[in-house]
């Protein structure tokens, strides 16, 4: 596993070595280690943070998830949950009081689905025009796209759950069709894609479709944040829970990747670890500069002033007045 992991990192670095973006370090964290890292940030308030986890039934594991969030005690802006399952979903819309809940369920099974909790500090636009065409029996996936708006930061969130044992090539094609759509290409803000995609990136050398999938994402400038196994058992370790980032086209330095917290939170809620990201933000510099007031004494402006003056007062009333004080009062009445 260690050789596959090293090989993947080298491959990703070779793909993105000409990019202006640098890979954020990816690490494993316990709750305490995550909080220590968080306390080390210069400003914990001026950041964007996201949590993703395969919850394998929110109905079954909601109390464990709630307890985890209480223990972490960090107000994530976005919580993405994959493999939501359909049982009692409406009941859990108020699981986190400070969040709005958006979800998409499978049309053919009670298993699957993806949900996104968004902190109420953001205004949200549901992007129903962004459609991932994965509805066939051999290409099943659910997705949820939300545009988040705040005073100094906007982004698009895409949550995914791809069903296992489906055709990888067809899923890659569906994702690329989405990236090529007119609606997607109009998006200039930062983009975050996360979910359980059931694609083990560690197998990129032995599975050509996974290699093509990585190349396709690179072609659309998506930087992989997840480079460590997220599902670990006694017999195997796989990297199937992914997070991807594409920078704001107009302000590519909006997120400070070098100082970010990125990796996997160790938890036993399910057999998947959680993806966590905390990105410090750069505020856009003001393009307007203070300019002192000045008068431009051009021939045109002098002519405009004379015309305004003639329309305002009668010049003959002033020139024909022998009393200077009275003439001033006519020119500049109180």
pLDDT at residue 332 above 70? no
Mean pLDDT in residue range 16-33: 84
> 316 and 206, same structural domain?
no
pLDDT for position 314:
67
Q: Which residue pairs from 10-14 have beta carbons closer than 8 angstroms and sit at least 24 positions apart in sequence?
A: 11/204, 11/205, 11/214, 12/214, 12/224, 12/227
3-state DSSP assignment of residue 15: helix
- The reply to whether 288 falls in a domain is no
- The reply to whether 102 falls in a domain is yes
DSSP string for residues in 31-69: HHHHHHHHHHSS-SSSEEEEEEEE-S-HHHHHHHHHHHH
The three-point CA angle 54-72-38 to 5° equals 105
pLDDT at residue 313 above 90? no
> 199 and 324, same structural domain?
no
pLDDT for position 331:
67
> 314 and 258, same structural domain?
no
User: Which two structure tokens, joined as six digits, stand for 165?
Assistant: 């044992």
Question: Looking at residue 252, which CATH number applies to its domain?
Answer: 3.60.10.10
pLDDT in tens, 113-125: 999 999 999 999 9
Per-residue confidence at 9, pLDDT binned at 50, 70, 90?
Answer: confident
3-state DSSP assignment of residue 150: coil
Report percent pLDDT > 90 for the chain.
69
pLDDT for position 301:
77
pLDDT at residue 132 above 60? yes
pLDDT for position 157:
98
pLDDT at residue 252 above 90? no
- The reply to whether 138 falls in a domain is yes
> 190 and 313, same structural domain?
no
Torsions phi, psi of 103, nearest 5?
Answer: -150, 160
Contact 269, 68 (CB under 8 A): yes
> 315 and 167, same structural domain?
no
> 155 and 59, same structural domain?
yes
pLDDT for position 1:
64
pTM of the predicted protein model: 0.84
Quick one: which H or E segment has residue 239? Answer: none
Find where tokens 């069709």 sit: 177
Q: Which of 187-191, 241-245, 255-259, 297-301 has the lowest mean pLDDT?
A: 297-301
Mean pLDDT in residue range 175-194: 97
pLDDT at residue 45 above 90? no
Contact 204, 11 (CB under 8 A): yes
> 317 and 207, same structural domain?
no
Cβ–Cβ contacts within 10 Å for residue 216, how many? 15
Per-residue confidence at 243, pLDDT binned at 50, 70, 90?
Answer: very high
The three-point CA angle 266-24-1 to 5° equals 55
> 305 and 271, same structural domain?
no
> 315 and 250, same structural domain?
no
Task: Print the domain residue range for 52.
Answer: 2-280
Q: Which of 167-171, 189-193, 207-211, 249-253 has the lowest mean pLDDT?
A: 249-253
Q: Which of 21-30, 40-49, 191-200, 317-326 has the lowest mean pLDDT?
A: 317-326
CA distance 323 to 334: 17
Q: Closest Cα to residue 260, out of 47, 32, 16, 78?
A: 47
> 253 and 107, same structural domain?
yes
> Mean pLDDT score of the chain, rounded to an integer?
90
How buried is residue 31: exposed, middle or buried, by Cβ count under 10 Å (0-12/13-18/19+)? Answer: middle
pLDDT in tens, 259-308: 899 999 999 999 999 999 999 998 766 555 555 566 777 777 777 777 77
> 304 and 242, same structural domain?
no
Mean pLDDT in residue range 15-24: 73
- The reply to whether 287 falls in a domain is no
- The reply to whether 61 falls in a domain is yes
- The reply to whether 17 falls in a domain is yes
What region does 256 belong to: left with phi over 0, alpha with psi -120 to 50, or beta? beta
- The reply to whether 38 falls in a domain is yes
User: Which two structure tokens, joined as six digits, stand for 161?
Assistant: 């759950």
pLDDT for position 6:
84
Q: Which of 14-18, 91-95, 155-159, 226-230 has the lowest mean pLDDT?
A: 14-18
How many domains would you assign to the chain?
A: 2
pLDDT at residue 91 above 80? yes
pLDDT for position 326:
76
């Amino acid at each position: 596993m260690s050789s596959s992991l090293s090989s993947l990192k080298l491959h990703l670095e070779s793909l993105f070595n000409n990019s202006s973006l640098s890979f954020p370090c990816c690490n494993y964290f316990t709750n305490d280690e995550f909080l220590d890292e968080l306390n080390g940030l210069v400003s914990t308030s001026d950041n964007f943070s996201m949590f993703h986890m395969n919850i394998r039934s929110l109905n079954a594991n909601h109390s464990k998830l709630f307890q985890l969030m209480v223990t972490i005690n960090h107000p994530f802006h976005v919580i993405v949950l994959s493999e939501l399952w359909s049982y009692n979903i409406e009941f859990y819309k108020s699981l986190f009081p400070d969040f709005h809940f958006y979800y998409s369920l499978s049309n053919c099974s009670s298993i699957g689905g993806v949900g996104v909790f968004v902190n109420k500090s953001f205004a949200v636009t549901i992007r129903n025009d962004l459609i991932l065409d994965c509805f066939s029996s051999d290409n099943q996936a659910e997705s949820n796209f939300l545009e988040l708006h705040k005073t100094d930061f906007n982004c698009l969130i895409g949550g995914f759950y791809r069903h296992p044992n489906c055709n990888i090539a067809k899923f890659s094609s569906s994702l690329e069709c989405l990236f090529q759509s007119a609606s997607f290409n109009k998006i200039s803000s930062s983009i975050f894609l996360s979910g359980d995609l059931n694609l083990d990136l560690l197998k990129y050398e032995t599975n050509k479709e996974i290699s093509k999938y990585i190349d396709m994402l690179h072609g659309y400038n998506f930087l992989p944040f997840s480079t460590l196994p997220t599902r670990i058992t006694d017999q195997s370790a796989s990297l199937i829970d992914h997070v991807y980032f594409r920078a704001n086209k107009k302000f590519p330095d909006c997120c400070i990747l070098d100082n970010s917290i990125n990796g996997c939170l160790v938890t036993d809620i399910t057999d998947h670890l959680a993806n966590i990201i905390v990105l410090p933000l750069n505020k856009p510099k003001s393009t307007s500069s203070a300019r002192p007031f000045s008068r431009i004494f051009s021939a045109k402006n002098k002519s405009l002033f004379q015309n305004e003056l003639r329309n305002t007062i009668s010049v003959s009333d002033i020139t024909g007045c022998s009393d200077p004080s009275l003439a001033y009062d006519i020119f500049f009445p109180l």
